Amino acid sequence: MDLGDILSKEQILIDLQADDRWQAIDELIGNLVATGRIKPEHRDAVAAVVKKREASMSTGIGLGIGIPHASTDLIYEVAGALGRSKKGVNFDALDNQPVKLVILFLVPQGQFQKHLHTLANIAKLLSKPEIRTALEQAADADVMLQIIRDQGRK
DSSP E strands, the chain:
12-13, 60-62, 65-66, 69-72, 79-89, 99-108
Q: Phi, psi at residue 153, to the nearest 5°?
A: -85, -15
- Taking only the tens place, the pLDDT of each residue in 127-137 is 999 999 999 99
Local confidence band at 1 (pLDDT 50, 70, 90 cut-offs): confident
Inter-residue contact 138 to 147 (CB < 8 Å): yes
pTM of the entire predicted model = 0.94
70-85 mean pLDDT: 95
pLDDT in the model for residue 153: 61
- Taking only the tens place, the pLDDT of each residue in 47-64 is 999 999 999 999 999 999
Sign of the alpha-carbon dihedral angle for 135, 137, 140, 143:
negative
The tally of domains found in the chain comes to 1
Task: Give which of 32, 34, 82, 26 is closest to 54, Cα–Cα.
Answer: 26
Local confidence band at 2 (pLDDT 50, 70, 90 cut-offs): confident
CATH of the domain at 134: 3.40.930.10
Whole-number CA gyration radius for the chain? 14
Inter-residue contact 15 to 139 (CB < 8 Å): no
Number of H helices, E strands in the chain: 6, 6
Q: Which domain covers residue 143, as residue numbers?
A: 3-152
Inter-residue contact 38 to 124 (CB < 8 Å): no
- In whole angstroms, what is the distance from residue 96 CA to residue 73 CA? 33
